[in-house]
């Protein structure tokens, strides 16, 4: 990430020592004004993106410290270690579209918060030892000002006067068959049967606001591609204190340049020459764990493509403490340069065993 053109504190209109709560309030105020769904400013989209970028930095303690110290959220080298799965204009813009669509007096699409998904990519070596990753994402989180209640004064919800607390109302429609009555969720209380008389101005009575989250995820030892980890209550916050959704993290283990993984076994080529295949040899192999080295014995007369197994030198098994095996695939790649005398010696041995030798060597070895 390159150094920003504008001061992030100036973008949000806060002091450099502003608290996390002050940063969030300033962001929400700016975002409400500049979101393309509600703003007539022709530059609203660009300005909203700038506000979102400033918030994504100042709401993250590590990135804010880097920005304050170096002028770059990712530090002096400009390269961050964070897997930022969701941040960006599109994601936060979508959250605000949901937010505006579910405000006071509007029916929410759901009361329980939705589950959210993230993907973490790790190397094979990281999967072998386990590691931690920090991910950042945008979600509808619990409103700090009303603690998720949606009420500005902390009062408990009261029975909805429009539906008498039932959460439903009767609608009469005229049809070709006459007047028909149907029962539908109440528009005033969104089907809950209760309302807050003084909605929180920060969240417009929803109990949740768009927010930027930073979460540390433990990558388990021996993890496989496609495995998931469910982090409770870290998905979308629920409506007015209803249950939050979960954050479901899916893991992906990257291809490794040295090993091919099959389950918990690791395969790798063992490159030897023809003389080593003929006489046999011992090869030192660098394992998947840091600093690990082990020996593979290649028996005399081993053929190209032979598979040699070394037990318990593969990937650690999930939850068992054991390991898979290492499988070396023999790759016989040519013969070393030999002197005429060495060729003559080999030809004589071959002929003694009934082998065929070149005519140029046959007379010399007869």
Within 10 A of 311 (CB to CB), how many other CB atoms are there?
9
pLDDT tens for each residue of 56-108: 899 888 899 999 998 888 876 544 444 444 433 346 666 776 676 554 444 45
Least confident of 98-102, 196-200, 211-215: 98-102
Predicted local distance difference test score (pLDDT) of residue 96: 73
**DSSP assignment string, 33-76:** HH-TTT---TTHHHHHHHHHHHHHHHTSHHHHHHHHHHSSTTTT
Predicted local distance difference test score (pLDDT) of residue 110: 56
| Burial zone of 181 (CB within 10 Å; 0-12 exposed, 13-18 middle, 19+ buried) | exposed
Q: Inform me whether the pLDDT recorded for 239 exceeds 90.
A: no
- Determine contact, residues 76/70, Cβ cutoff 8 Å: yes
> Mean of the per-residue pLDDT values for the chain?
86
Q: Which domains does the chain have, with CATH numbers?
A: 1-80 (1.10.287.110), 260-335 (2.60.260.20)
> Which residues are registered as beta bridge partners of 265?
262
Q: Characterize the bridge pairing of strands 247-253 and 116-122.
A: parallel
Looking at the chain, which runs of residues are DSSP E strands? 83-84, 116-122, 131-142, 158-159, 168-175, 178-185, 194-195, 208-219, 228-231, 247-253, 260-262, 265-272, 281-286, 293-298, 307-310, 326-332
337 or 126, higher pLDDT: 126
For 333-358, what is the mean pLDDT?
Answer: 85
22 or 357, higher pLDDT: 22
CA distances from 14 to 23, 48, 67, 88, 92 (A): 7, 16, 15, 21, 20
Predicted local distance difference test score (pLDDT) of residue 108: 53
Rounded CA gap, 192 and 241, in Å?
12
CA distances from 213 to 134, 222, 326 (A): 10, 27, 41
Percent of the chain whose pLDDT exceeds 90: 48
For 197-217, what is the mean pLDDT?
Answer: 89
pLDDT tens for each residue of 133-175: 999 888 999 999 999 999 998 888 889 898 988 888 888 888 7
For 259-265, what is the mean pLDDT?
Answer: 97
Which residues fall within 8 angstroms of residue 225, CB to CB, at 6 or more apart?
A: 251, 252, 253
Predicted local distance difference test score (pLDDT) of residue 364: 55
- Determine contact, residues 149/240, Cβ cutoff 8 Å: yes
Percent of the chain whose pLDDT exceeds 70: 88
Single out the residue of 120, 121, 199 nearest to residue 158, CA to CA. Answer: 199
Predicted local distance difference test score (pLDDT) of residue 77: 55
313 or 321, higher pLDDT: 313
Predicted local distance difference test score (pLDDT) of residue 300: 94
**What is the longest distance spanned by two Cα atoms in the chain?**
116
- Determine contact, residues 311/150, Cβ cutoff 8 Å: no
Predicted local distance difference test score (pLDDT) of residue 337: 87
pLDDT tens for each residue of 292-315: 999 999 999 999 999 999 999 999
For 314-333, what is the mean pLDDT?
Answer: 95
Rounded CA gap, 195 and 158, in Å?
6
Rounded CA gap, 217 and 250, in Å?
11
Which residues fall within 8 angstroms of residue 77, CB to CB, at 6 or more apart?
A: none
For 232-258, what is the mean pLDDT?
Answer: 94
Rounded CA gap, 7 and 71, in Å?
9
- Determine contact, residues 248/228, Cβ cutoff 8 Å: yes
339 or 286, higher pLDDT: 286
Secondary structure class of 127 (helix, strand, coil): helix
Q: Inform me whether the pLDDT recorded for 334 exceeds 80.
A: yes
Predicted local distance difference test score (pLDDT) of residue 87: 38
Predicted local distance difference test score (pLDDT) of residue 93: 64
Q: What is the pTM of this model?
A: 0.74
For 313-338, what is the mean pLDDT?
Answer: 93
Report residue 118 as tokens: 């993230």
Q: Which of 87-96, 201-210, 223-232 has the highest mean pLDDT?
A: 223-232
Predicted local distance difference test score (pLDDT) of residue 125: 97
Predicted local distance difference test score (pLDDT) of residue 80: 43
């Amino acid at each position: 990430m390159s150094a920003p053109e504008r001061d992030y504190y100036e973008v949000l209109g806060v002091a450099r020592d502003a608290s996390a709560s002050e940063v969030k309030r300033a962001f929400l105020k700016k975002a409400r004004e500049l979101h393309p769904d509600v703003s007539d400013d022709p530059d609203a989209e660009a300005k909203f993106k700038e506000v979102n970028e400033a918030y994504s930095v100042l709401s993250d303690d590590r990135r804010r410290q880097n920005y304050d110290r170096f002028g770059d959220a990712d530090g002096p080298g400009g390269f961050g270690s964070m897997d930022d799965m969701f941040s960006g204009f599109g994601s936060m813009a979508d959250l605000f579209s949901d937010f505006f669509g579910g405000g006071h007096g509007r029916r929410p699409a759901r009361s329980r918060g939705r589950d959210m998904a993230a993907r973490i990519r790790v190397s094979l070596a990281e999967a072998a030892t386990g590691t931690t990753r920090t991910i950042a994402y945008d979600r509808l989180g619990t409103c700090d000002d009303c603690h998720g209640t949606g009420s500005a004064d902390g009062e408990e919800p009261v029975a909805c006067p429009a539906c008498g607390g039932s959460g439903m109302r009767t609608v009469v429609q005229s049809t070709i068959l006459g007047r028909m009555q149907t029962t539908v969720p109440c528009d005033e209380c969104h089907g809950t049967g209760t309302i807050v008389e003084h909605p929180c101005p920060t969240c417009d009575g929803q109990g949740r606001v768009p927010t930027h989250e930073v979460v540390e995820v433990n990558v388990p030892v021996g993890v496989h591609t496609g495995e998931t980890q469910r982090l409770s209550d870290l998905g979308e916050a629920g409506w007015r204190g209803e249950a939050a959704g979960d954050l479901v993290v899916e893991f992906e283990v990257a291809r490794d340049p040295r090993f091919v993984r099959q389950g918990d076994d690791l395969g790798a080529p063992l490159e030897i020459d023809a003389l080593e295949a003929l006489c046999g040899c011992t090869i030192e192999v660098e394992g998947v764990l840091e600093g690990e080295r082990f020996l593979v014995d290649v028996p005399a007369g081993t053929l190209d493509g032979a598979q040699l197994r070394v037990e318990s030198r593969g990937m650690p098994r999930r939850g068992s403490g054991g390991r898979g095996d290492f499988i070396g695939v023999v790759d016989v790649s040519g013969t070393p340069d030999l002197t005429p005398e060495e060729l003559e010696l080999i030809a004589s041995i071959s002929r003694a065993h009934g082998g065929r030798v070149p005519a140029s060597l046959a007379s010399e070895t007869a």
